[in-house]
Chain A
Amino acid sequence: MQDTFRLRINGEVHAVTVPPDMPLLWVLRDVIGLTGTKFGCGIAQCGACTVHVDGRPVRSCLLPTSAVGEQAVTTIEGIGETKEGARVQMAWLALEVIQCGYCQSGQIMSAAALLAQTPAPDDADIDAAMAGNICRCGTYLRIRAAIKLAASGDAA
């Protein structure tokens, strides 16, 4: 059983015909070709698949496509268009956060959502917003510092 959905992704509408319970992650990656959103665990444990749905960070590996509806989806390919996203990307490079990079799409999406919600996060805010994102390379210290740098606006 498949349905057609009109998804609003990074400001563009994509019509896809897929099973309604198919997680958004696979629609993005395998159907639309937006491979910046990553698969890490498939069970909402790692955060690699994080996207924004109407600005909220969501694990796309467990989000059925049928649940997206009219809501705006933003992925790593589009986050640089937002103020917080651009700042986070710049801070990430300024502090050379990234190692293998595979988790970083999800890290950046979670961090951008945090800053949009909490412009000057403290350590506890960062822990709460970022603890769902695993980095196997262990870039956590620089992630924390880069979020603070992005919040300060000095990376720009």
Chain B
Amino acid sequence: MPAVENLSLNPTRRGLLAGALAGGFVLAFRVPAGAQPESEPDQPADEPAGPFAPNAFIRIDPAGRTTLTMPQVEMGQGIYTAVAMILAEELDADFASVALEHAPPNDRLYANPTFGIQVTGNSNSVRAFWMPLRAAGAAARAMLVEAAATQWGVDPASCATASGEVVHAESGKRLAYGALVGAASALSPPADPPLKDPKDFRLVGKSLKRFDTPDKTNGKTVYGIDAMLPGMKIATVAHSPVVGGKVAHVDEAAAMAVPGVRRVVVLDDLVAVVGDHMWAAKTGLAALAVAWNDGPNASVSSQDVWTALREASAHEGAVAKSVGDADGMLKKGGAIEAAYEMPFLAHAPMEPLNCTVRLTPESCEIWIGTQVISRVQKTVADLVGLPQDKVVVHNHYIGGGFGRRLEPDMALTAARVAQAMIGETVKVVWTREEDIRHDVYRPVYRDTVAATLSKGKIAALKYKVTGSSIIARWLPPAFQKGIDIDAIDCAVDMPYDVPNFHVEYVRAEPQGVPTGFWRGVGPNNNVFAIESFMDELARKAGKDPVAFRRDMLDKEPRAKAALDLAAEKSGWGGALPRRAGRGVCVQPAFGSFIATVVEAEVDTSGEVRLRRVTCAVDTGIAVNPDTVVAQLEGGLIFGLTAALYGEITIRDGRVEQSNFNDYRMLRINEVPPIEVHVIASGAAPGGIGETGTTAGPPALRNAIYAATGIPLRRMPVDREVLAGKKEAWR
């Protein structure tokens, strides 16, 4: 089993860490070879011994120790293992002995090629880094081969590599990579190193064991929330319950009287209580009895948000795609219309938000698990007025991201608290209630669609998305001409062959509710509306939902093959009990083609029981197929959780939900068998982490439609409607 270096907590070594700090060492330095790991993850630094480091991802020391630097963060999606497999594949490293380390904040070296900054999101780690990592591995390998060939006086082309050695078959000579470190370092990296033919892959395509999981079985893995620093205090926070509100009054004396409370920090829009432990901080915060001036959003309610969204949706939008003459066709009459609405959703990662900060007049050190390490660094540097290189960020394993940790707000909050306690180390931990009530929510969306049918196919389709633009806030240069490319992603890439097709986007920001990326992002909304509508159209056309889709997929053979496989494996068309149904969903999201069949039953009280899920996926080359399967299983459950339970509502400017009692999650007893079939493919890898989340809700919705005849057009599932106690919303 390969080793993950320096990422594990061993409480008995805390003394060593304390000593290191007292002695003035900076934690960002690598532990010398042979030393025991400390309690914090390390970042690459210069090594006196002169390793071979041909690029930012690979370092081989003279002992042959190979360290791979992970540009993307591990939050459960298995990316550490996938990145290591890709690098080691082209490098021909000895995979069993490579060590991994987190990349430090450095956009120049480790930017995600899709975004230009360090980001782990959009299910694109493998997609974006596939070629750069292969090239990095291949360049290093070519240099090692050249070094060996020169030493032996043979043609480099006559040399081969395997498991960390260069081999010259003719003479039987072999040299370990470690022995070539000096000579290879003197060479310049080749511009265009030859890549392996995928048929020669030894690692990629195999279900290899993950690097990160052994320490997750025994409590050793250090998440951001587990950072333990000498003398550290622990704080918890209350942000204004209404966005834009301010602190009016606090009872500081009452909080200070709580045993273990050390300090109360009152800022204009948040308060923090700092204590010896979380219990003191939490009890102290409750004793503070904060009164707030709620400000301009004091009266916002969900109803206001929906009213404004529906009004905005009546307007014309920016045109994102237009083929043929959909408008003209629809005006001729016979159009079928529908509207679909999606609720606000919280992320609720299992690891509540947290960040540890130590701020001095000259420097700042941060311990956090983040999807945007360089943005955290910059945000805090700007706040405290230090140059960026004086802000050291230690990234950690992430206990669930789902998009929540694409924001630096938890670091900003912690740094603001730290500004009140210069020279001290403070870990700021949010309660679950704070985590759910101060999220950046998956926006509410309203989608309107209209279509005409001809000979059992769609002749014209008009689709308009109305909702918040997260891109406009999060990556402003990408918001062009009024189009949010994420919000219409799977609309413009809709897989069906429709001769007259028109897509519009209307930007509408909800008052007083911040919005953010949520696992599955724009495609969740697009695929839900399109795939729900497909079933309604199939019914109008008098066709089976699978056949209706299939007849329009000639131009997307990968989607069609996935649909055929999912239909076959799910027993599509087979008999089912009364009030049970199957629903299908086809999607092109994140560069993967997926078809999903959900089988569900609805009882007379409107309760929905999931019976079975079948999924067929063509994700191109599956780097680690078992991870692909795991991500689909988990993603489907994430999406089905939202469909069955997920909704954040607003009243008096406040989020009404607070914890897992009123923001429900699917539990083990509610989860059906899920079968995932991975289709062999030689195409470049697609994204996978978010795809299941996109697939679940429309497939479930269509299963309910098949079981009951009720076309749900809003999420989450409304059990009163299914029980016949209420008209279906439309």
Do the beta carbons of B218 and A101 come within 8 Å of each other? Answer: no
Do the beta carbons of A93 and B209 come within 8 Å of each other? Answer: yes
Interface of A is mostly: loop
Looking across the interface, which residue of chain A has its beta carbon closest to that of B436?
Answer: A41
Q: Which residues of A contact B352 (CB under 8 A)?
A: 39-40
Do the beta carbons of B277 and A22 come within 8 Å of each other? Answer: yes
Q: Which residues of A contact B209 (CB under 8 A)?
A: 93, 96
Q: Which residues of B contact A93 (CB under 8 A)?
A: 209, 213-214, 217
Per the CB 8 Å criterion, the residue count for chain B at the interface is 68
Partner of B400, one of A97, A102, A105: A102
Count of A-B contacts judged by CB separation below 8 Å? 194
Do the beta carbons of B222 and A102 come within 8 Å of each other? Answer: no
> Can you list, as one digit per residue, whether each of A1-40 has a CB less than 8 Å from chain B (1) or not (0)?
1100000000000000011001100110111111111111
Partner of A76, one of B218, B222, B260: B218
- Answer whether A45 and B278 are a contact pair too, CB < 8 Å, given A36-B219, A101-B212, A137-B634: no
Q: Which residues of A contact B402 (CB under 8 A)?
A: 136
Do the beta carbons of A43 and B218 come within 8 Å of each other? Answer: no
- B191 on interface, CB distance cutoff 8 Å: no
- Answer whether A92 and B217 are a contact pair too, CB < 8 Å, given A39-B429, A134-B350, A138-B634: yes
Q: Which residues of A contact B282 (CB under 8 A)?
A: 42
Do the beta carbons of B219 and A77 come within 8 Å of each other? Answer: yes
- B376 on interface, CB distance cutoff 8 Å: no
> Can you list, as one digit per residue, whether each of A70-96 has a CB less than 8 Å from chain B (1) or not (0)?
000001110110000000010011001
- Answer whether A41 and B432 are a contact pair too, CB < 8 Å, given A101-B76, A101-B221: yes
CA separation between A77 and B77, bound complex, in Å? 24
Q: Which residues of A contact B636 (CB under 8 A)?
A: 138
- A103 on interface, CB distance cutoff 8 Å: yes
Do the beta carbons of B217 and A98 come within 8 Å of each other? Answer: yes
Do the beta carbons of B260 and A19 come within 8 Å of each other? Answer: yes
Do the beta carbons of B218 and A89 come within 8 Å of each other? Answer: yes
CA separation between A141 and B399, bound complex, in Å? 19
Do the beta carbons of B11 and A33 come within 8 Å of each other? Answer: yes
CA separation between A137 and B630, bound complex, in Å? 9
Do the beta carbons of A39 and B225 come within 8 Å of each other? Answer: yes
- A126 on interface, CB distance cutoff 8 Å: yes
- A151 on interface, CB distance cutoff 8 Å: no
- B673 on interface, CB distance cutoff 8 Å: yes
CA separation between A106 and B432, bound complex, in Å? 17
Q: Which residues of A contact B349 (CB under 8 A)?
A: 100, 102, 136
Q: Which residues of A contact B668 (CB under 8 A)?
A: 126-127, 130-131, 133, 135, 140, 143-144
- Answer whether A46 and B673 are a contact pair too, CB < 8 Å, given A35-B219, A35-B228: no
Do the beta carbons of B218 and A77 come within 8 Å of each other? Answer: yes
Do the beta carbons of B671 and A22 come within 8 Å of each other? Answer: no
CA separation between A27 and B398, bound complex, in Å? 23
A-contacting 9-mer, from B288-296, B657-665, B697-705 = B657-665
- B334 on interface, CB distance cutoff 8 Å: no
Looking across the interface, which residue of chain B has its beta carbon closest to that of A26?
Answer: B279
- B188 on interface, CB distance cutoff 8 Å: no
Min Cβ gap A42→B in Å is 6
CA separation between A98 and B76, bound complex, in Å? 7
Q: Which residues of B contact A41 (CB under 8 A)?
A: 432, 659-660
Do the beta carbons of A104 and B669 come within 8 Å of each other? Answer: no
- A99 on interface, CB distance cutoff 8 Å: yes
Looking across the interface, which residue of chain A has its beta carbon closest to that of B213?
Answer: A98
CA separation between A23 and B278, bound complex, in Å? 10
CA separation between A128 and B282, bound complex, in Å? 31
- A142 on interface, CB distance cutoff 8 Å: yes
Do the beta carbons of B660 and A100 come within 8 Å of each other? Answer: no
CA separation between A8 and B282, bound complex, in Å? 25
Min Cβ gap A74→B in Å is 11
- B251 on interface, CB distance cutoff 8 Å: no
Q: Which residues of A contact B234 (CB under 8 A)?
A: 30
CA separation between A42 and B97, bound complex, in Å? 40
Looking across the interface, which residue of chain A has its beta carbon closest to that of B401?
Answer: A100
- A149 on interface, CB distance cutoff 8 Å: no
- A139 on interface, CB distance cutoff 8 Å: yes
Min Cβ gap A71→B in Å is 20
CA separation between A103 and B208, bound complex, in Å? 23
- Answer whether A140 and B11 are a contact pair too, CB < 8 Å, given A40-B432, A93-B214: no
Do the beta carbons of B429 and A1 come within 8 Å of each other? Answer: no
Min Cβ gap A45→B in Å is 4
Q: Which residues of B contact A33 (CB under 8 A)?
A: 11, 14, 228
- Answer whether A98 and B279 are a contact pair too, CB < 8 Å, given A139-B634, A141-B671: no
- A108 on interface, CB distance cutoff 8 Å: yes
Q: Which residues of B contact A19 (CB under 8 A)?
A: 259-260, 279-280, 283
Min Cβ gap A150→B in Å is 12
Q: List 30 A-B pairs, Cβ < 8 Å.
A: A2-B260, A19-B279, A26-B279, A30-B276, A38-B399, A39-B225, A40-B351, A40-B660, A43-B432, A75-B219, A77-B218, A77-B219, A80-B218, A93-B209, A98-B217, A99-B76, A100-B349, A101-B212, A101-B399, A102-B351, A131-B667, A133-B668, A134-B665, A135-B668, A137-B638, A138-B637, A138-B671, A141-B673, A142-B633, A143-B668
Known: A35-B222, A100-B351, A140-B666. 11 other contacts (CB 8 A): A2-B259, A35-B226, A41-B432, A45-B660, A79-B218, A80-B218, A98-B210, A130-B668, A131-B669, A135-B350, A136-B638
A→B interface (CB under 8 Å) = 1-2, 18-19, 22-23, 26-27, 29-43, 45-46, 48, 75-77, 79-80, 89, 92-93, 96-105, 108, 126-127, 130-144
B→A interface (CB under 8 Å) = 9, 11, 14, 75-78, 209-210, 212-214, 216-223, 225-226, 228, 234, 259-260, 276-280, 282-283, 348-352, 397-402, 429, 431-432, 626, 630-631, 633-638, 641, 659-661, 665-669, 671, 673-674
Sorted nearest first, the 5 A-B pairs with minimum C-beta distance are: A36-B219, A102-B399, A138-B637, A100-B76, A101-B216
